[in-house]
Structure formats: structure tokens, C-alpha cells
Amino acid sequence: MLGAEFVQLSLTPMLIGILSAVACALPGNFLLLRRQALIGDAISHVVLPGIVVAFVITGTITAWPMMIGAGVAALVAVGLIEVIKRLGRVEPGAAMGLVFTTLFAAGVLLLERTDTSAVHIDVDHALMGSLESLIWFDATGWGSLLDPVALAGLPPQLGRLLIVTVAMVLFLRVMWRGLVITTFDPGYARAIGLPVNWIGFALVVMTAIAAVAAFDAVGSIIVIAMFVCPPAAARLMTNRLVHQIWWSVGFAVLSAILGYILAGYGPGWIGAAASVSAAGMIATVSGVILALACLFAPERRRAQQATA
Amino acid sequence: MSIPALTLKGVTVSYGGRPAVFSVDVTFPIGSMTAIIGPNGAGKSTLLKGALGIVPLLAGEARFFGLSYQDARRRVAYVPQRASVDWDFPARVIDVVMMGLYAETGFLRLFRQRHRDRAMECLSRVGMDAFAERQIGALSGGQQQRVFLARALAEAGELYILDEPFAGVDAATERAIIAVLKDLKAEGRTIIAVHHDLSTVPDYFDRVVLLNRERIADGPLEEAFTQTHLQSAYGGRLAAGQVADLAARVG
């Protein structure tokens, strides 16, 4: 099972799945504690109109215009959410829900009216990505990991996600104290002179970068699930933030590996012929992990205690 | 006359288009211990938040030791309202107290043993050293308030600004907090606290600011904490007998 065929067909999709899951789960921890988990949802939906607009403008689907278009759309969405929150005086959740559904719908319409028959963007792709197709053609076995020619043929998504994940880790490390204190006690953070709004904005920008990089490879279903499920399950495992982050990374990796294997081989085990969407299965596994954490995790009683 | 710890000049703050605090002028001398009192919605917390730059000032200015807040920040320690944060946050007591050291260590420098020692020292000053490893959500309201005070102690400020430090705390906590505040005053530090229990004002504080959106009165207790001023700050919300009784204890 782990021979040359595995390296060629499964290794890179699995690594990309793992990196996508981790890159999204890391900022998800802070979004969750700030009660902003929906912002990940919002950003990953507005990526679609961003990509379509970028395609309309440039006429190509090369990576960088798409990434930039998606990033700009994410920032526009974040700005719109702020404006609606302030002018409409509605609660943040409602403002986010409004913005992302509207922009996603606009993206679908735009996509319909645009001639994309020659290129590979459609709504299915936006939702579920194409994880299974990110295979490593040039690999002939494990030895290819040391072969520069074969390595050059790795799917470019892998490199991008690796860079984004490393950047995310660095961001959290450098900004750790600022993120912690502005999340826990924003009033005090302002009083000791922290740029509370800028730190919040930096977190959202990093979230957008993770969402865009992951979206390209795995679609928005995984992105949305990974922003919320692993951090939420991790919160139920521990009462210390550092430990929560590690648990969330563990759950993200577990979801990606287990989800990929179950999607590829699971149907075969129960006698069905075709495999199912890896993205869908990875998101499902993360949801099941959260459900199990709700039932069995050590700190699950916390919430009831606090209100009692 | 020496420079005051805090001077407010024409401080005006608005919340959602309506002025919450209007043109307040008050001076807080160094070494004084001042209660800010007034009815609910009088803008007591808002006045302090405006001075500390947590909410924007519409007009006026706050000078700390004669300097802008920016320049005097390290000399000021702030204790927000306990209810303003989510105590379900995944942190231990010691983690919260160490936040008081961020201004000193910056964002990246690792905490050393001496930082940890100082945090523990601050915790023992408020009688919470046995709880250092406890999850903050597992504490009682009074214990949470003491943790907040310990965090402010870790900042080693000269001016302590406390927002409702006695709100919803048990009697033991109230005694512990007032003992710490009186110690700070004895060391020559300045205390400003939003307070709502008029009956303890004469025992705890030496100055008072009466506020009801505008400044009604401020100064030493015997000048400001009078029947007339209380009456005009609280209007009909205090029984006349109660007011006379309070003022008599000062006079």
C-alpha cells in the first residue's frame, strides 16, 4: 500500500490535505476564542467571486492572479462586514452571514455569465477542490524524494501551502502575546498601548491568506471545517491555550490523513466500487472528531460549570 | 503645588451619538485615593476609558503626571471591570498576572525566573498565590477580581485606575483589595476607583468625584461628599434620610 504507487498518487494529496488543514486550524484557534469563527467561513466563500473577477480581468487561470483576486475579495469582504456592522448596527454574525452569502451568490452568477468553458473553474471545484488530482507524475517511488528532477515536478500547491503554513507558525510565534492579550482583554490591551485593531486585522489577513492558499488545493469545504472543527475540539481537551493549539494541529492532521484514506479506500471496504470526495471526507472526519470531543473530552463540562 | 497624577480638562465622550460624559474637569493629586461615584449610566467607567484612550475622546484632554497618556503609560496600571472579559478563556491565573509584565518584557523576550517570581509575589499580595496554576474560569468572582488586581500590581505603576473593583465580590475579597490599595497609597501611589457603594466611601477613600454625565462635585470628602452634592448627583434615586446619614458620617 505504501509503495511507488502511493508516492505517485497519494503522498502529495495527503501532504497538501495536511498542510491545508493545519494552516487553517492554527488561526482558527484565535478566531474561535474571539467569537469570529464565521469570518473564516465568510472569507472562504468570497474567494469564488474574487477568482472569477481575476479570471475576467486577466483571462487566464494561472495561480498568482487567482490568489491575488481571492485575497482582494477577502479584504473587501472584511471591510464590508465592518461597514455593515457599524452602519447597520447589526450583530457581527449577521453581518458576516449577509456578506458571504451575497458575495458567493454574486460569484456564482458571474461565473455563469462568464465563458469559462475552456478553463477549469466551476462551483463544484470551488466547493470541493481537486485534492485527488494533485498527484506527483514524476515520482517513481520513495527515491524520488531525493531526485531534484522529480521534485521539480511536485504540484505547485504543495510548495505554496508549505510557505503559508510556515508563515502562519511564525506569525503566531511573533504575535503570540499580542494575540493572546487582545483576544482575552481588548480594553486592557488598548490601555497598555497595543494596536488592538491592527492585531485583529493582521489575524484576519493571515486567515485570508490561509483560506486562499488552501482553497486553491482543497476547496472551501475543508477550509471552513478546518477553521472551526479542530480548534473547537481542541478547546474541549485542555484549559491552556498553548496545549489547545497543539491539540488543534493534531486533530487537523488526523482529519486529513484519516479522511483521505477513508475517501479513497473506505467505499472499497464496504464493497462499493468508486471512491468518494477526499475533501468532503476530511471535513466529515473533523466534524466526527468534534462530536467525539463533545461527548468524551476532559474539559467538556466547562461551559455548564461557568453558567451554573 | 506639585504636578497631579491625573488632570482631566473638558473631557467629553460620546457613545452612539449621545454624549455619555460631557466636559468634565477634575484633578487627582498624587498620593490621593479617589472614588468616582454617581448613578448607573452616569459615565463613570466611560470617563476612565476615555482618559486611558480605550474609547476616543470627542473633546478635551487627559494629562498623566503632566504628560500625554502615551508618554506616561508605563506609570499607569489599569484594572478593567471583571465582567468585561470572557473568563472561559483558556488561561491559568499565573498567565493572566504575567500579562502585567508585557509592557516591560515586550512581545518576544522570554519570561525568566525573576518574572515568574514577581508574578507570584503579586499573587501573594492579594492572597491568591495558592491558585497560580488554576484555570481562571474555575475561580469565584472575588478571586477573579484579585487576579486582575495582581496583574495591575505586576505593572508596578504609580497610578492605579480601577473600574468597579468591588462589584460582585465577597467580603473577604473586598477586605483584601482595600488592604492592598491602602498599602499602595501608603507607598505614595495614587488610586482612582469607580465605586458604587456609597456607605463605604468614607472608610475607603479620601477624595470623591460625583458624576452624572457632568461633574457635579470633586474634592476631599468633607467638601464634595455632602448632602447637597449627593442629592444633585443622584436626584430622587437616594432616600433623603440615606443622604443625610452618609454626609453626616463625613461632616
Per-residue pLDDT of A242-256, as tens digits, reads 999 999 999 999 999
Distance CA B3, CA B190 (A): 12
Cα-atom radius of gyration of chain A, to the nearest Å? 20
Most A CBs within 10 Å, among B64, B102, B131, B144, to test the A interface: B102
Q: Identify which has the larger pLDDT, B182 or B234.
A: B182
pLDDT confidence of residue B11: 95
β-bridge pairing B190-194 and B159-163: parallel
Chain B: residue whose CA lies nearest to A189: B54
- Chain B contact set for A178 (CB, 8 A): 107
Q: In this predicted structure, what is the pLDDT of residue B241?
A: 67
> Residues A211, A38: contact at Cβ < 8 Å?
no
**Rounded to whole angstroms, how far apart are CA atoms A307 and B6?**
39
**Interface mutation target, options B47, B79, B85, B160, chain A, most CBs of A under 10 Å:** B85
User: Which of A193, A240, A302 shows the shortest C-beta gap to B88?
Assistant: A302
Q: Which domain holds residue A182?
A: 4-35+122-300
Give yes or no for residue A307 having a pLDDT over 60: no
Q: Is B208 helix (H, G, I), strand (E, B) or coil?
A: strand
Report the pLDDT value the prediction gives residue A306, as an integer from 0 to 100.
44
- For residue B29, is pLDDT > 80? yes
Residue A118 has pLDDT above 60, yes or no: no
With CA atoms as reference, report the closest residue to A98 among A46, A50, A29.
Answer: A46
Hey, are the CB atoms on A241 and B91 less than 8 Å from each other?
yes
Q: Domain for residue A60, yes or no? A: no
> Quick one: pLDDT at residue A126?
67
Residues of B with CB under 8 A from a CB of A: 49, 52-54, 70, 73, 76, 78, 80, 84-92, 95-96, 99, 102-103, 107-108, 135, 137-138, 151, 155
CB contacts of B138 in chain A (<8 Å) are 305
Q: Confirm whether A98 is domain-assigned.
A: no
Find, among A173, A169, A175, the residue nearest to A189 by Cα. A175
Grid cell in block for residue A117: 468553458
Average pLDDT, chain A: 85
**Interchain contact A190–B (C-beta under 8 A):** yes
CB-CB under 8 Å, A190 with B54: yes
Tell me, what's the pLDDT at A96?
86
Chain A residue closest in CA terms to B74: A192
Query: A172 CB near a chain B CB, below 8 Å?
Result: no
Residue A161 CA to residue A198 CA, distance in Å, equals: 25
Domains: count for chain A: 1
H and E: helices and strands count for chain A: 13, 0
ipTM comes to 0.90
User: Please, which residues have CB within 8 angstroms of residue A135's CB and are 6 or more apart in sequence?
Assistant: A8, A9, A12, A13, A155
Say whether residue A185 is in contact with chain B using an 8 A CB cutoff. yes
User: Residue B60: beta bridge partners?
Assistant: none
- Domain spans of chain B? 6-250
Question: Which of A7-11, A137-141, B91-95, B214-218 is predicted least confidently?
Answer: A137-141
pLDDT value of position A120: 60
| Residue A16 pLDDT level (bands cut at 50, 70, 90) | very high
- Kindly indicate the confidence band of residue A122, based on its pLDDT and cuts at 50, 70 and 90: low
The percent of chain A in helix, strand and coil, each rounded to the nearest 5, is 80, 0, 20
Nearest to B102 among A175, A192, A305 (CB): A192
- Rounded to the nearest integer, the mean pLDDT of chain B is 91
pLDDT for residue A298 is more than 50: yes
Within-domain flag for A86: no
Least confident of A82-86, A245-249, A261-265, B106-110: B106-110
Query: For testing the chain A interface, which of B6, B75, B78, B99 should be mutated: the one with the most A CBs within 10 Å?
Result: B99
Q: Is B239 helix (H, G, I), strand (E, B) or coil?
A: coil
pLDDT value of residue A123:
66
Using the predicted structure, report yes or no on whether residue A304 has a pLDDT greater than 70.
Answer: no
Q: What's the pLDDT at B216?
A: 93
CATH architecture label of B6-250:
3-Layer(aba) Sandwich (3.40)
Interchain contact A181–B (C-beta under 8 A): yes
Examine residue A249 and state whether it is found in any structural domain, yes or no. Answer: yes
A193, part of any domain: yes
Maximum mean pLDDT: which of A121-130, B102-111, B150-159 = B150-159
For an interface test with A, the pick among B15, B88, B194 (most A C-beta atoms closer than 10 Å) comes out as: B88
